[in-house]
Amino acid sequence: MVSGMPAIGVRFDVGKLDSACYGIAAWKVFWRALPAGDLKRSLLFEGDTAATCAGRESVYCIALQNSDTAVLNKVRAALSESAAFKNVCGAPLFVDGRACTSEPLVEAGKIDDSGSLVGGASNSKPAFDTVEAERERQRERQTQAPARTVASERTRNLPPIANFSELRDFIGKTFTLSGAGFDSGYWITPEELCDVVERYADLVKIQYVDKLVRPFSKNLCCVRLFPQNASAPTSVTAEELKQQEYVEFTGLFPFLSEQDAAAFAGKRAQTEQDAQAFRAVAGIQGKYQMNLGKGSEPPSFNSYSVLPPALLWKLLWMRREGFAEEMRRQEEADRELKKKQEEADRELKRKQEAARQKAEQYKAENARRRTVMQERTARKECPLCGKALGLWDRLKKRGQHSGCRAFRE
């Protein structure tokens, strides 16, 4: 832990946690009481206490350090009001200062400026992901997606279609940009996709999968459309799987970084102008791709994961709103960082200006003194004190009094 930085330790009774993975169990209690967004710029630590290692107690400690003591007070207040924590807390509930930093705890990650958990977090991260998933499911139950109007001219007057094969051809023809200066495939907005599946609900079964981990993203979203008569096969060869009739859309995901998103657009276009056009088509904003394109995930129909068409809009809208909120938090963190940088730049310029003025004043004062000393010398006075030179000074041909060492007015 960082010596001298304010700290608070949250103590859990291992016996009351009643879990072989008591570290993860403790972190779940912690995250349920405290969203990571409330703990920005905090360092996290975890481990058994020194007394536990010595066999004198059985306590697991989660510690947090932050230069802002208001954050530590928020931790104390939130957990003090948490019934779940009171059921598993140790005695005392908290330790502060030296009593906390002296515990033999290991790093458990940190909360960055955007409110995200980063760094080594072997126990805190699995617990964090579990609690965030719980919150997401709770938001899904409580949230009502806004009503949609017709998404675009492409879906304003959708024609009658007789079967799934016609629908697949229609999607490929309608949503592929002909003549574009980049490799397009078909691209569709979430609203347009929902217009299509709701219009042709009698022809399709919908599968929705998110949080797919791929080399370019850790949270890919995939929507597949299968024929209404699709069923989960008991046995199927890889070749038969490739021939399975379906339409797939992937998108609404974060790239690993903004640089990766820019590189993705650059690879799909020949010129910068085409790359900008592609970013607009794909809905790339920062590190996020907000629209959906033709996917290449291997199809695998599962009748247990069929989604009602009316529910797809809610899931896509909530996902997009979550990314928009992450972007807002990141923009806020960037603005705060920029503000601090501007303040630091202003302070540096102020110090530089003060140093320049001081140097100018020093230079002007030296020039004035030289003039005064020259005038005194012309009057056969000591240039330093301004008093007349004595007979002995003139005989010795001294230009100043022997005892004068500094200029005096």
Mean pLDDT throughout 58-70?
95
Of the candidates 64, 97, 58, 59, the one whose C-alpha atom is nearest the C-alpha of residue 78 is 64
pLDDT tens-digit map of 277-317: 889 889 999 999 999 998 876 666 565 567 888 889 999 99
The answer to whether 54 and 8 are in contact (CB under 8 A) is: no
Residues 6+ apart with CB under 8 A from 285: 327
Backbone angles phi, psi at 356, to 5 degrees: -65, -45
pLDDT in tens, 109-152: 999 887 889 887 789 999 999 999 888 878 777 777 788 888 88
Go through 209-233 and write b for each residue having 16 or more CB atoms within 10 A of its CB, e for each that does not.
beeeeeeebeebbbbbbbbeebeee
Mean pLDDT, the chain, integer: 88
Q: Which of the four pLDDT bands, split at 50, 70 and 90, describes residue 235?
A: very low
DSSP 145: P
In the chain, % of residues over pLDDT 70: 92
Q: Is the pLDDT of residue 53 over 90?
A: yes
Looking up tokens 């069929």 gives: 306
Give φ, ψ of 94 to 5 degrees: -130, 155
d(C-alpha 143, C-alpha 148), whole Å:
15
Nearest in space to 210 (alpha carbons), one of 138, 305, 92: 305
pLDDT at 1: 86
Q: Tell me the C-alpha to C-alpha distance, in Å, between residue 218 and each of 31, 209, 241.
A: 21, 13, 25
